Amino acid sequence: MRKPLTTERRLPPGLNAPAAPVRSLTSAVHASLRADILTCRLAPGEKLPVAVLAKKFDVSLSAVREALSRLVADGFVMSEDQRGFRVTPLDIEDLEDLTNTRIEIEVLALRRSMAHGDAAWEQGLRDAWDTLRQVPYALARQTPPHDGGWADLHFAFHEALVSACGLTWLMRLRRTLFEQSERYRALARTVPAGAERDVNAEHLAIFEATIARDAETASAAMDAHFRVTMELVREAVQRG
């Protein structure tokens, strides 16, 4: 027998669940759909029938509509007049726009971190890199939680690089771009790993230049890192 959707483990940190049970269910549906979209378990362009989702999660139609509306605001879902909701499609033009924008924002944040980072920032970066490099990159081609935590550690490493940026709005925009790029990275898993790519070496180059406060080399390494990923994703999108 199918169990009703539980909310406790899916709610965002700090949400006051007892005060708003309907919103808590909405948040749970939002979190579940968002995770499936980011990992492409819900495919780009896939329809999202409200009634079907309400039955799946055992919640009201209004809870599903609100969750989908929030995903529209996040850019993960599209709302079409008289046609309902569907997962936002992925395409080459959007990939290039997203990648180029992300490089601009990421490099700016990285340069600011190198300029303002203190000893604590440097140690945090060392710790993040040391933890990430111990997980085999081969696991990154698996979906969480079968990736050995690689996705979370990868996020933590890139977060540590720019954590001394000091601009809250810039970091919010950066987080949005990172999350949107995760959908494309999930698609890249379908492309056979090329022998010419060494992700650990790419990360090491970024790390070493950043620790050395070599802004030009670190920026170039970050730019190259994102563009290699873009080319792999381009191949996956063209295949799909």
Instruction: Look at residue 129 and give its three-state secondary structure.
Output: helix
Tokens of 125: 């970066």
Give the CB-side neighbour count of residue 79, counting CA atoms within 13 A: 12
Mean predicted lDDT score pLDDT of the chain: 85
Q: Which of 121, 105, 97, 214 is nearest to 167 (CA)?
A: 105
Rounded-to-integer distance, Cα 125 and Cα 119, Å: 10
pLDDT band at 220 (very low <50, low <70, confident <90, very high): very high
Fold of 92-239: Four Helix Bundle (Hemerythrin (Met), subunit A) (1.20.120)
Query: What is the reported pLDDT for 8?
Result: 36
Residue 234 pLDDT grade (very low, low, confident, very high; cuts 50, 70, 90)? confident
The Cα–Cα gap between 15 and 218 comes to 38
Q: What single letter denotes the amino acid at residue 8? A: E
Q: Are 11 and 28 in contact (CB under 8 A)?
A: yes
Evaluated on CA atoms 191, 196, 202, 203, the torsion sign reads positive
Q: How confident is the model at residue 23 (pLDDT cuts 50, 70, 90)?
A: low
Neighbouring residues of 39: CB distance < 8 A, sequence distance ≥ 6: 143, 144, 182, 186
Q: What is the mean pLDDT of residues 34-63?
A: 92
Where exactly are the structural domains of the chain? 17-87, 92-239
Beta carbons within 8 Å of 145's beta carbon, 6+ residues apart: none
Whether the Cβ atoms of residue 201 and residue 221 lie closer than 8 Å to each other: no
Give SS3 for 85: strand
Q: Which one-letter amino acid corresponds to residue 134? A: Q
Q: How many residues are there in the chain?
A: 240
CATH topology of domain 17-87: Arc Repressor Mutant, subunit A (1.10.10)
Note whether 17-87 and 92-239 share their fold.
Answer: no
* Interval 122-158: pLDDT, tens: 999 999 999 999 988 777 777 767 777 888 899 999 9
Query: Is 177:159 a contact under the CB 8 Å cutoff?
Result: no
Q: Which residues of 145-166 are buried (b: 16+ CB within 10 A; e: fewer)?
A: eebbebbebbbbbbbbbbbbbe
- State pLDDT tens for residues 95-114: 999 999 999 999 999 999 99
Looking at residue 193, what is its pLDDT?
56
Check whether the bond before 145 is cis (ω within 30° of 0).
Answer: yes
- Residue 22, pLDDT above cutoff 60: no
